[in-house]
Every structure is written in structure tokens, then in C-alpha cells.
Structure 1
Amino acid sequence: MTDVLIAGVGMVPFVKPSIAEPYDVMAVNAAKAALKDAGLRYNDIQQAYVGYVYGDSTAGQLALYQVGMTGIPIINVNNNCSTGSTALYMARQAIEHGIADCVLVLGFEQMKAGAIGEQFTDRPSPFREFDNLCKELVDVDLPLALRYFGGAGREHMQRYGTKLETFAKIRAKASRHAVHNPLALMRKEVTTEQVMEDPVLWPGVMTRMMACPPTCGAAAAILVSEKFARKHGINSKVKILAQAMVTDLPSTFGEKSMIKLVGFDMSQKAAQQVYEAAGIGPDDIDLCELHDCFAQNELLTYEALDLCPIGGAEKFVNDGDNTYGGKFVTNPSGGLLSKGHPLGATGLAQCYEITHQLRGSAEQRQVPNAKLALQHNLGLGGACVVTLYGSN
């Protein structure tokens, strides 16, 4: 077993589908940026894991062949919204177990505008059991993702008295962070009041600004072993300290809870495994990039990651413990609510942000004295990957 170091990261700005370059162009630019950041050539790469959700098989090959054709294994990965972190998980295992010493992880997505929908309607849906329970628990006709996460947010409101304004505060916080992120799509600061006054998607449950938009983009990371870093003179400050991937549990369907259906128990179990493996507690974390596809899910994730007690997320938000000057800085990048959500790229965009935070190179959004950072990437269907990073 060897430590896994982040030698380089790269990312392109996330943009609206209407103005995005083709996926292979975005992917090439992100991969080349990561290589440049690491001071390596493509010939140094021994394996590549490439994540995307919407695309034909071997799209990873098309992208990377434009960087180099060296005959290395290229593994294409699809795990819904956790695709980028799943690719990272596989690459980390390859390094940690001595299968490879230098691995490229690349994620990209060329999205379409509008709500996400199923692509194959002539065969059983992987969301079949999710949809059946959602129809039983949620009595509205709305797009799939909005029903899931809006329904989970509504359940939290009903169970703990959480106010709609609390979700608006989370969205406003995201905008304040994104002001300083040149790679985010939405960089205009908005107030809690403006979020509340935005067009309503679900009365009493969600306004439009509480949902992240579909965007297109790409991000990449290069992972290396300690031996490889020494040989090539790579002075990496950032390493992966612990990582866990968890899929759905019986409680996902058995407890008839929308909060459980959208992955709360996956997130909770993955976080517990990471804390135990690293020998730390949540109070040791300095910052967290978490999966805020909706403001509602950000609030639920505070509790799943044990950043606050279950039922205590509203107080956590009101006390300012989710931002600079509080207990944890959550989504210093602005999160998905500000960057948008190009599915395959999201997990690696989180890795990009965390790497710069732990290097101390995040400029105006720098979290002071950042030493430990947590990453949470969730995909319905389902899979959750939680990763702990540390700086030397």
C-alpha cells in the first residue's frame, strides 16, 4: 500500500449547453491542463479512467487520443452524478495497490438544456424502484430530480420545522462564494430575499434558484504514488487520506422516506467509513465540497456527513457554520448551485477546488490554514463517494 498524491489538476469553465464546445474539446483542454499542472507528459500516464454519463461507449478514447496514443488502458466509467468520483475511486485503488504509479482521471459532460430525463425507454429503468416509491410518497407531477430532492426537502420541513428561507440562505451563501471563482457559471451575488422571490418550482418547497442548472464542462486530476513523485521530482502537498464508496442499502426503500430515497444513508455510511479509516472526526475538517444539486440536498448532507446533528441543519445554517468564519466552509467553489452540474465532471471539479485549497492557491476564496478537506459526490441509482484529502 502506498500513499496516493494529487500531482496535478485541470478544469475548464463550466458553461451553458447553448455555448459549450464539443465534449472532446473540453476534455482535451482539461487533461492538458492537469498534465501541465503536474509537470508531466502524456507518455508518463500508465492508465486513464474517464467518466461521463451521456455519450456513446469509448468517448474517453476519442478525447484522450487527441492528447496522445500510447496504448494505455482507458476505462470508461458511468455512475450517474457520482461518475467523476467513481473514476477517482478506481484510480486511487490502482495506485494504492501498486497496479500503476501514474493515473489520469478525466470527467466531462456535454449536457442538453432542460431537466434530466431517461434516455432508454424501451427497457427496464434503473430508477424503477425509486420511481415507484417516489410516486407513493410525493403527490406532484414534476421532473424526476425535482420530485426526488424537493420531496426530501419537504420531508425535512415537515419533520423538523425547517423553513423554506433556510434553503434560500444556502443558495445565497453559494453565490457569495462563487463571486470569487472564475470557473463558475453564475458569479452574481444574490440575497436570501432574491432567492425567495425567484419563480416557484414547487409551492412552499422550492424556487428556481434552489436548483442547479445543467451545464457542460470537464475536469481532470493526475494521481501518482510516492515512489513516482520522488523519481520525477513532483512536490505534491495534497494526498488522499481515505476514501469510501457506498451503494444503496435496504433502508433506501424500506423506510419509505424521501430523505432515505435520495441517498442519506449512503452518504452517512461512506462518511463514517472515511472518518474511521483516517482516525479523525468531522470537527477536524476545515472545508467540504459536497453535492448540492439542490439547496435541499446540501442541507440534508450537512447532517449525513455529521457536520451537525440530525435535525440541526437549520440552526447550523442560521449560525453561519457553513461558511467563512464558521465551523466549516462548505462549497468554497460555489458548488453545483453556482457552477452547474455537468454530471461526469462534477466530482473532479470538486477535486480541483480541494486541491487548490490545500495547496493554498485558491486566492480570494482561500479557506485560512486549510489542512483537511472532505469531498462528497452523490449519484442516484445509486452510489456515493466520500473522499478525505490532506496537505503535507
Structure 2
Amino acid sequence: MIPFAKPGASDPYDVMGEAAARAALTDSGLDYSKIQQAYVGYVYGDSTSGQAALYGLGLSGVPIVNVNNNCSTGSSALWLARQAVASGTAECVIALGFEQMQRGALTAVFDDRPDAMGRLNAAMGSLQQRTDAPAAAQMFGGAGAEYAQRYGVDPALFAKISVKARRHAANNPYAVFRDLVTEDEVLNSPHIYGPLTRLQCCPPTCGAAAAVVCSAEFAARHSVSKPVRIRAQAMTTDVAGTFDDGTSMMTLVGFEMARRAANEVYEASGVDPQDLRVVELHDCFSTNEVLSYESLGLVEEGGAEKFVLAGDNTYGGRVVTNPSGGLLSKGHPLGATGLAQCTELVWQLRGEAGARQVEGDLPLALQHNLGLGGACVVTLYERAAR
């Protein structure tokens, strides 16, 4: 990946994308001529932007597929790349994600056609009062309020997530926000919706990240060093009942999608979530990190408060969540986010995360990437035999 930046402070998307792809190829020791397919993710951009980014590496004629799945775009590209290799269609594929974002909250680009989020917004309107706050903040703020009420949690708990995110990001040279903040500073920042304040909302960000995905045989044949294996992966979307009247705000923001994807991964891999020691999860808002502890099976129902207060979500605790600083502090360039999570976990499994390195033996790592509208991708990585 490349260092993330605030809107207006980054290179254009094609320059960022090419740089991240080059970095991934350099890391693998492979030339672009070895790549047989490419899956390129971005949310805001014209069609074939993926070609614009990869053509700088060479005009090889290989298939380049452009991918858009909202905030889960990067991991959707990775999911497609893994499928291509697992099926035997290709031996070596690149997944690339980038985003050149504008300042301010996310908004729809087109106003002359049905809103892709219309069903979600309508369901939200039936559950809680609408305000002028950004729609995503209303959704995740409402879900956090529901969780706090359901389990008797002090809403100030969510502010602790932002404090942790900055503390982790302080050791990440790729992160946008590396200055420490206190719980009081988080709570006293401008109110957005429900328990959310500004410092509990991820920022619009520009950036790019990439991963080379190949078969074990290809890696051995080309002497790829320090490979990390995708042990299991699942993508889920919404099911019947998600948008029905009286549904839960937690369900609307992907809690059940994440739970189903995680359970599929655990069943396929035989791994118990209690055995995980490092996780990169989708903390687009502080509230969603708390919800995700439960949906990913890291804690029992209603157990997030105890988990956070005990420090089990950080260094010295049971499982280090978002050692990169997460979306809250590393940043959230939509198309790049899933592949940036992948990059961080690969570095962790290799022991190459520097000051962020989780101590001790680290054989497994879990990634959770969520997009409203909706899609959720959960990926389990393991350190390959050397």
C-alpha cells in the first residue's frame, strides 16, 4: 500500500493505483508480465479507471475487471482474485484498490435514477428520526444507540474505540491521523448522531493498496518468499427480512451479514474465533467496531463492554483489533480499504509490522470489510510454511 492522505493532498487515482500495484509486485519478486488477470476496485470514478492505473505497468492484454461494492470494494476484488486462482482459471492474479475522494460526507453521484441505497434509507426512516447528519452516520449511530440500550452500555464506551485507534495509528507511517486523542476530546468533539461525535467517524481519504494472489505451486515455482495463505473466505449480502418494517438498526448496518460471513469462514477453516490474536475489522464508525466484536464471535452476546474495559482489544489483551489504526485513524479510501487491511495482516503474519507488531507466535489473522447496500467479506489468513 501507499501512505493514505486527506482529499486534495494525494496524487491522482491512476498514479496512486500504479504505485500500490508496483509495490505489491516488488514485494512478491514478480514482474507484471506474470500477472494473468487483474481485479481493480474503486467506488468513485469513471469506467475502466482500473485500466488507467494498470496500463502504467505495461500493456499486456490481460483481462482487467473493474469492481464496485461500496466500502467492501477492495475485499470484493480480493475475493474475485482468490476465486480465479482457486478455480484454476489463473495461476497469478493481482487485486488492486484505490480511491481519490472529495472532502465531506459521502453522497450519491446521480440524481436522475433510483437510489441504490433507497431501500436501506427507507427502512432506517421507519426506525428512527432523520436529521441533517450524513446518512451513514445516522445508520451506524442509530445501530450503536440500539446496542447501548439493549445491553445497558454507557455510550461513552464508543469513545474509547477512537482513543485506541489513534494510539495504534501513532505507530503507522501509512495512517492519516497519528496524533493521540483523549476520551474527553473525543466526547467533546462536535456531535453527529446518537452516540457519535466527529472523532468517532472515519474521514474521507485518498489512497491505494494491492495484493498478488497466486497458487502455492506458482509461488514455489517462482521462489515467492514469505507467502501468506488465504485459509478461508466468505462474502455475504442481505437476506429476506433485512429491510422489513420493525427490523433492527444493527441488522440494517450489516451485523447479520458479518455474522453469517464469519461463521462460514470458521466452519470452513475449523478455526475458533477465540484463538485469534489479531483482527482488522471495519471500524467506519466507533460504534461498528463494538458491534463487530460480537458479530465476528470475538465476544459473547452483550460482551463488548467487558472486552473493551479489560483492554482485551489492544496490545497486551486477548486480540489486537485494528493494529493499523483502522478506518478511524488510518483512513478509509473506499476502494483501497479492504486491500489495506489485507496488507496490514500480511505484515503482521510475517513479523514485518515494526512498532505495531503483535508479539508472540501469530499463525492466524482475520479481516472484516463491510459495505452497505450491501456486502460483507470476511477473510482468514494464515502464515504459510517456509
How do residues 261-300 of structure 1 correspond to structure 2 at under 5 angstroms? Answer: 261-300=252-291
How many residue pairs get matched?
381
Q: Say which is worse superposed, 131-140 or 63-72, in terms of deviation.
A: 131-140
Please report the RMSD computed on the Cα atoms of aligned residues, expressed in angstroms.
1.0
CA distance in 2, matches of 1:171, 1:144: 20
The answer on whether the counterparts of 2:169 and 2:323 sit within 8 Å (CA) in structure 1 is yes
Question: How far off is 1:237 after superposition?
Answer: 3.5
CA distance in 1, matches of 2:182, 2:381: 32
Question: How far off is 1:358 after superposition?
Answer: 0.2
CA distance in 2, matches of 1:46, 1:252: 38
CA distance in 2, matches of 1:231, 1:280: 29
Question: How far off is 1:235 after superposition?
Answer: 2.5
Question: How far off is 1:193 after superposition?
Answer: 1.9
CA distance in 2, matches of 1:185, 1:83: 20
**2:328 is the counterpart of 1:370:** no
Q: Say which is worse superposed, 156-165 or 62-71, in terms of deviation.
A: 156-165
**1:155 aligned residue:** 146
Question: How far off is 1:318 after superposition?
Answer: 0.6
CA distance in 2, matches of 1:240, 1:286: 16
CA distance in 2, matches of 1:372, 1:286: 7
User: CA deviation digits over 1:194-218, x for unaligned, max 9?
Assistant: 211222223x511110000000000
Give the gaps of 5 or more residues in structure 2: none
Amino acid in the other structure paired with 1:374: L
Percent identity of paired positions between Structure 1 and Structure 2: 59
How do residues 134-283 of structure 1 correspond to structure 2 at under 5 angstroms? Answer: 134-141=124-131, 142-202=133-193, 205-254=195-244, 256-283=247-274
- What SS class does the counterpart of residue 158 from structure 1 fall into? helix
User: CA deviation digits over 1:209-263, x for unaligned, max 9?
Assistant: 0000000000000011111111111133410000000000124223511000000
Amino acid in the other structure paired with 2:206: C
Q: Say which is worse superposed, 187-196 or 61-70, in terms of deviation.
A: 187-196
The answer on whether the counterparts of 2:349 and 2:364 sit within 8 Å (CA) in structure 1 is yes
Question: How far off is 1:327 after superposition?
Answer: 1.1
- What SS class does the counterpart of residue 252 from structure 1 fall into? coil
CA distance in 1, matches of 2:128, 2:8: 32
Q: Which of residues 110, 127, 152 is equivalent to 1:120?
A: 110
User: CA deviation digits over 1:144-199, x for unaligned, max 9?
Assistant: 11111011011111211221211011110111100100000000111212211222
The answer on whether the counterparts of 2:28 and 2:225 sit within 8 Å (CA) in structure 1 is no
**1:8 aligned residue:** none
- What SS class does the counterpart of residue 145 from structure 1 fall into? helix
CA distance in 2, matches of 1:333, 1:172: 13
Amino acid in the other structure paired with 2:85: I
Give the gaps of 5 or more residues in structure 1: 1-10
**2:379 aligned residue:** 387
CA distance in 1, matches of 2:18, 2:53: 6
CA distance in 2, matches of 1:340, 1:235: 29
- What SS class does the counterpart of residue 164 from structure 1 fall into? coil
How do residues 101-112 of structure 1 correspond to structure 2 at under 5 angstroms? Answer: 101-112=91-102
The answer on whether the counterparts of 2:294 and 2:302 sit within 8 Å (CA) in structure 1 is yes
CA distance in 1, matches of 2:19, 2:114: 36
- What SS class does the counterpart of residue 144 from structure 2 fall into? helix
User: CA deviation digits over 1:261-298, x for unaligned, max 9?
Assistant: 00000000000000000011101111100000000000
The answer on whether the counterparts of 1:252 and 1:263 sit within 8 Å (CA) in structure 2 is no
Amino acid in the other structure paired with 1:282: P
